[in-house]
Amino acid sequence: MTLSPSHSRPAHRRVPPNLQPIGVFDSGVGGLSVWRELTTLLPAESTIYLADQAHVPYGARTAADVEALTHEAAGWLLAQEAKLLVIACNTASAAALSSLRQRWPDVPIVGMEPAVKPASAQTLTHKVGVMATPGTLNADRFVSLVERFASGVEVHTQVCPGLVELVEAGDLDGPLVEAHLHGLLDPLVAADIDHLVLGCTHYSFLAPAIQRVVGERVTLVDPAPAVARQAQRLLTTHDLLAAGSLLALPAGPLLALPAGGTAPMHRFFTTGDAAPLRISIAQLLGLQASVEQASLAPRERGTGR
DSSP H helical ranges for the chain: 32-41, 63-79, 90-103, 116-122, 134-137, 140-149, 163-168, 175-190, 207-214, 224-237, 274-285
Does 116-221 match 20-112+224-293 at the fold level?
A: yes
Topology of domain 116-221, per CATH?
Rossmann fold (3.40.50)
Which residues lie across from 158 on neighbouring strands? Answer: 131
Would you call 207 exposed, middle or buried from its count of C-beta atoms within 10 A (0-12, 13-18, 19+)? middle
Are the beta carbons of 38 and 24 closer than 8 angstroms? Answer: yes
Amino acid 248: pLDDT: 33
Q: What are the tens digits of pLDDT across the range 123-175?
A: 999 999 999 999 999 999 999 999 999 999 999 999 999 999 999 999 999 99
Catalytic option among 94, 200, 209, 281 = 200
- 160 part of the active site: no
Distance between CA 208 and CA 136 in Å, rounded?
23
CA dist 34 to 21, 45, 75, 144, 286, Å?
Answer: 15, 14, 20, 24, 15
CA dist 264 to 20, 22, 112, 240, 258, Å?
Answer: 10, 11, 24, 14, 7
Amino acid 6: pLDDT: 38
Amino acid 5: pLDDT: 35
Amino acid 296: pLDDT: 77
Among 76, 59, 61, CA closest to 25: 76
Distance between CA 234 and CA 223 in Å, rounded?
17
Band (56; pLDDT cuts 50, 70, 90): very high
Distance between CA 174 and CA 272 in Å, rounded?
27
Amino acid 298: pLDDT: 52
Distance between CA 209 and CA 202 in Å, rounded?
13
Amino acid 8: pLDDT: 43
Distance between CA 150 and CA 130 in Å, rounded?
12
* CATH number belonging to domain 20-112+224-293: 3.40.50.1860
Mean pLDDT (the chain) is: 89
Band (15; pLDDT cuts 50, 70, 90): confident
Q: Where do the structural domains in the chain lie, given as residue ranges?
A: 20-112+224-293, 116-221
Distance between CA 53 and CA 173 in Å, rounded?
22
Amino acid 262: pLDDT: 67
Catalytic option among 24, 89, 94, 206 = 89
Q: What are the tens digits of pLDDT across the range 251-296?
A: 333 333 444 456 899 999 999 999 999 999 999 999 999 999 998 7
Amino acid 60: pLDDT: 86
Q: Which of 43-57, 234-248, 264-278 has the lowest mean pLDDT?
A: 234-248
Amino acid 16: pLDDT: 87
- 200 part of the active site: yes
Residue type, 7: H
